[in-house]
Amino acid sequence: MSYHAGNEGYSVSWVDLIVEYTAGFAFGLFIFQSLFMKDMAGGSYLGAVKNSFMPEWLSMNMMAAGMFPVMIFLMMGRDMRAMEPTEPLFWAVMALGVIVGFFVAYPVNVWMVSRNLKHGLMHVPPAGEITHHVEPSPNGAMPSRHATMIRAGTDGHEGA
């Protein structure tokens, strides 16, 4: 099934949306959530992938639920400038799609952070403390605020 925009012949298919979703999910999970956050998961990349999969999947689905309808409705309309990356209209539609996706995904992400299912963007250990080891929570979720914080230079136990 394809969406046809105007008579110029450009067709955006479901394949385009699937590739965009898959690439976004893969980069989000394997690079931003797992590679860059592996220290929060005890230093294990595979552990970070496992702990990040469901939160990233839910977050990405909410982002797509807001972004894709905007793109489909506005980019595949009568004005073909919205399909051309050299046109300002293209970038305006993309920006609007990201904004709508943000507002759809935001409540779900806040909920996941509040339940320690996902780390907060600005999660930083208190001064003088670093995370060397994170105890997994009973439900397998990635800990955030309640992670075991170990003072630098101690023998692996919480210091005073």
Identify whether 89 is part of a domain: yes
- 158 within some domain: no
The neighbouring-strand residues paired with 129 are 151
Residue 115 belongs to some domain of the structure:
yes
Distance between alpha carbon 23 and the CA centroid of its chain, in Å? 11
Residues 14-57 have pLDDT tens digits of 787 889 899 989 998 998 888 887 777 677 888 888 888 999 99
Tokens (6 digits) for 102: 């943000």
Cβ atoms 154, 138 nearer than 8 A: no
DSSP state of 151: E
- Residue 58: inside a domain: yes
pLDDT at 157 over 90: no
Tally of domains within the chain: 1
146 in any annotated domain: yes
Say whether 124 sits in a helix, a strand or coil.
Answer: coil
pLDDT digits (tens, 9 = 90+) for 61-98: 999 999 989 988 888 766 778 888 899 998 998 999 99
- pLDDT-derived band at 12 (thresholds 50, 70, 90) equals low
Asked whether residue 159 is assigned to any structural domain, the reply reads: no
Six token digits for residue 151: 């003072």
Its domain, for residue 69, covers 11-151
Determine, yes or no, domain membership for 160: no
